[in-house]
Amino acid sequence: ATQGYTSPLIYVSGDKLLYLSRKIQQTAALAVSTLLLSTLSLPTWSLIESTDTQRETMIEMIDQLEQRHYAKHRYDDELSSQHLDSYIDSLDRAKMFFTAADLAEFEKYRTAMDEQLHEGNLEAGYVIFNRFQQRLEDRLEEVIETLPEQVAAMDFTVDETFPIELDEWEWAETPEELDDRWRRRVKNEVLSLKLADKEKEEIAPTLEKRYQNQLKRVRQYNSQDVFQIYANALTELYDPHTNYLSPRRSENFNINMSLSLEGIGAVLQQEDEYTKVARLVAAGPADKQGELKPADKIVGVGQGADGPIEDVIGWRLDEVVELIRGPKDSTVRLQVIPAKSKAGEE
């Protein structure tokens, strides 16, 4: 996320494509994005475990938060309860994986996490994440396997809805409720492609590729990723600008501090399977161009004036950022879902 760029060009036709010219930042402005990961996992049935270093880091981090943070909050039972809710929300904000039974099982950690984390015990964070990882990977595999049949059987004359706001649903009581939510979600995505004039025979392969990409990246997550999510679910209760950075995130932070980053001038964050624009950097190419807006969702990235658009739905945030970055004065094209579009519009 940088600024100090030349004015970009824009082209709009059907799907929204934004052409942005990159230029090296020469200003002291600093933009740090917050990583909110919601669709994470590992290889099938491969449990993720914490390391000794992470356990030591958690003890030190809590000590620093309690002793040096201006908020002066003690990590006690009350904050432990908030931490549990924040962590679950960061993993499954759309309520598409956990059931009410899972939430009832996780209640045993509600007032126990403070004692655990003071001792470097990361059990709660990794148990909950591994349950999420299992559900996510199983779901993606099932959707991919049944996708052609699902698409062929869809009836768009049925009067049913899929919520835009993520808090409209309560936690599902049964696995069958989750199955129905996913059926509606896939149907909504098919409808979105139809409204975007995607050819009928291309819809199922497009979605299959999208979910295959997500499953591939889901299997790349490791203990550092889990620790970062668990730690940030706590630090952000002290202050939304207080974050733990994993080694990889720390490296990106140092790049920002060097004031030599190349990009489009937008702070990005992860929301479910989408890369969302959190805000624009003043005087950056996106800001000058005037079309990219906060809360827009980036679904495709293309290099140069006519390079193919790469579908980035389900990608890791750092991978999308890496794709958007590029040489000085080069062009990148973004395909976005505008924030103010109606359901199904793109």
Q: What are 168-227's pLDDT values in tens digits?
A: 889 999 999 999 999 999 999 999 999 989 999 999 999 999 999 888 877 878 898 999
Q: Give me the helices (H) in 239-311, please.
A: 247-257, 285-289
165 pLDDT more than 80: no
More confident residue, 341 or 139: 139
The pLDDT of residue 45: 52
Nearest one of 179, 315, 215, 323 to 264, comparing CA atoms: 323
Q: Torsion-angle region of residue 221: left (phi > 0), alpha (psi -120 to 50) or beta?
A: beta
C-alpha distances (whole Å) from 189 to each of 61, 149, 166, 183 are 41, 15, 16, 10
Does the CA dihedral 189-191-192-193 come out positive or negative? positive
Residue with tokens 């062009």: 331
pLDDT tens digits along 232-288: 999 999 998 888 877 666 656 655 544 444 578 888 888 877 899 998 888 888 888
**What pTM did the predictor assign?**
0.66
Average pLDDT over residues 294-318: 89
C-alpha to C-alpha distance for 21 and 126, rounded to whole angstroms: 42
Helices 200-218, 123-153: axis angle to 10 degrees equals 170
C-alpha to C-alpha distance for 182 and 156, rounded to whole angstroms: 16
What are residue 57's DSSP bridge partners? none
- Degrees to nearest 5, angle at CA 84 with 82 and 85: 65
Percent pLDDT > 90 in the chain is 53
Task: State both tokens at 299.
Answer: 């679904």
More confident residue, 85 or 331: 85
25 pLDDT more than 50: no
Contact by Cβ (8 Å): 267, 279: yes
Residue type, 129: F
- Degrees to nearest 5, angle at CA 19 with 17 and 24: 145
C-alpha distances (whole Å) from 146 to each of 9, 143, 272 are 41, 5, 22
State the burial class of residue 263 (Cβ atoms within 10 Å of its Cβ: 0-12, 13-18, 19+). Answer: buried
Nearest one of 38, 138, 42, 139 to 93, comparing CA atoms: 38
Q: How many other CB atoms are found less than 10 A from the CB of residue 331?
A: 19
The pLDDT of residue 4: 33
Return mean pLDDT, the chain: 81
Average pLDDT over residues 84-106: 96
The pLDDT of residue 314: 81
**Strand pairing report for 297-303 and 309-311:** antiparallel
Does the CA dihedral 13-201-183-229 come out positive or negative? negative
134 pLDDT more than 80: yes
Contact by Cβ (8 Å): 98, 132: yes
Residue with tokens 């309560």: 170
8 pLDDT more than 90: no
The pLDDT of residue 247: 65
Contact by Cβ (8 Å): 1, 235: no
